Amino acid sequence: MRHSLMTEPLAPSDQFMMLHHHNTQPTASAAATLTTEFIHASLVAASHSSLNSSTTTAAAQVTSNNISSCPLRTATTNNSTTTTNNNNTSNMPSAAAPTTPRNARITNCVAGPKMSYTTLATLEYTIHTSPRRMTRDLATVFPNLDLSSLLVVPTFQKCKNEMVAWDAEIAKEKDDRLDDFVRWSTALHQRLERRGYWSDMTDPASGFPCFSERGRDVYPDVEGCQMLLKYDFQNAGCCKVLLHPVWGSKIYPATFFTTAPLEALEQVIQEVESEHAVQQQRP
């Protein structure tokens, strides 16, 4: 059917012209014909309006479906960023965490935290794969080495004194803890070397390697532990003092490094702990 001439309601002027065309006083037959034409025009206009409304609704539904089927993407708005941050915060450890934060918070952690009790030293350690930025920085601490498979082992020894202050007693305790760390790390280093793996430790006092060639830079234990473990710190003069989540500032931090596989390193630690086992674990 063709309704190209009757697709819109008649304007008042058009209605007047139609009435004038059928005379001012149309007969009953003419009036019936005119009424029929009005009804037909109204039906056509209503049908056209309904068709437009259906098309608009369908388009809106398609748009809505497309939006709902799109994967959620992080936008640069503050609201989106807040939502993402809230989701990430739900995975963060609570304030009442155990000895160290859970691995969900620790960066690149592959083992630990664990306590090692030996006659060489009593310390807590974790094992981490080196983050890309840390590996880039360590290339100037340990020059001429392939550090692509580097493992970083931060260690902490509990101290009797706060390491914030400085006096003769604290200085002696630092020296004692350094000696303990050197004995423990040397035992690991010797066993890894016999297996053909590189390893080293940095002197917490100077930041230089103990067994390898020195580079132009030093390793800062506090910054390294902050990157890997997210520990807090406090300023003590011109120095930063690391804060352990349980022991506070009563700690002596030091770091061991190796390119050995994780399994080889863990096996060596077990060997050292077995060979230098203590009869009673220190608190």
Enumerate the domain spans of the chain: 12-69, 99-275
User: What is the average per-residue pLDDT within 85-93?
Assistant: 39
Looking at every residue in the chain, the average pLDDT score rounds to: 74
Q: Which residue has the higher pLDDT, 148 or 97?
A: 148
Three-state SS string across 77-93, please? Answer: CHHHHHHHHHHHHCCCC
pLDDT at 196: 98
Residue 230 in contact with residue 224, Cβ under 8 Å?
Answer: no
pLDDT tens figures, 176-207? 999 999 999 999 999 999 999 999 999 998 99
Q: Which residue has the higher pLDDT, 87 or 228?
A: 228
pLDDT tens figures, 253-278? 999 999 999 999 999 999 999 999 98
Encoding tokens for residue 84? 């993402």
Q: Which residue has the higher pLDDT, 118 or 43?
A: 118
Encoding tokens for residue 157? 């020894």
With a pLDDT cut of 90, the percent of the chain lying above it is 53
Spell out the long-range contacts of 58-64 with Cβ–Cβ below 8 A and sequence spacing 24 or more.
none
pLDDT at 105: 62
One-character DSSP codes across 109-134: EEEEEEEEE-SS-EEEEEEEEPPHHH
pLDDT at 151: 98
φ, ψ of residue 151 to 5 degrees: the values are -110, 135
Q: Which residue has the higher pLDDT, 92 or 232?
A: 232
3-class SS at 245?
coil
Residue 188 in contact with residue 257, Cβ under 8 Å?
Answer: no
pTM of the model: 0.63
Give the CA angle between residues 255, 266, 276 to the nearest 5°: 80
pLDDT tens figures, 227-246? 999 999 888 777 788 999 99
